[in-house]
Chains A and B, each alone.
Chain A
Amino acid sequence: MALDPVTLELVWTRLISAVDEAAKAIVRTSFSTLSNEANDFACVLTDAAGHSLAQNTGSIPSFIGTLPATVRAVCAAVPPETMRPGDVYITNNPWIGTGHLNDISLVRPVFSGGRIVAFGATTSHVPDIGGRIRSTEARELFEEGFHIPPMRLLRDGAADASLITLLRTNVRTPDQTEGDVWAQVAALALIHDRVCQTLADHRLADLAAVAAEIFGRSEAEMRRRIAALPEGCWRHAMQTDGLEEPFTFQVAVTLRGGGVAVDFAGTSPQQPRALNCVLAYTTAMTAFAIKALLLPELPNNDGIFRAITVTAPEGCILNPRYPAAVGGRAATGHYVPPLIFGALAEVLPEKVRAAPGSPLWIMNLAGTDDRGRTFANVLFFNGGTGAGAAQDGVDAVSWPSNISATPVEIAERTAPVLVHRKALREGSGGAGRQAGGRGHETVVECEAADVAAVFVTERLRFAAPGLFGGEAGALGEVLIDGTPTDTRRQQTLQRGSIVTIRTPGGGGYGRKG
Chain B
Amino acid sequence: MANYSTNEFKPGLKVMLDGDPCAILENEFVKPGKGQAFNRVKVRNLKNGRVNERTFKSGESLEGADVMDREMEYLYSDGEFWHFMATDGSFEQVGADEKAVSDAKNWLKEQVIYQVTLYNGAPIIVTPPNFVELEVVETDPGVRGDTSGGGTKPAKLMTGAVVKVPLFINIGDVLKVDTRTSDYVGRA
Partners in one complex: no
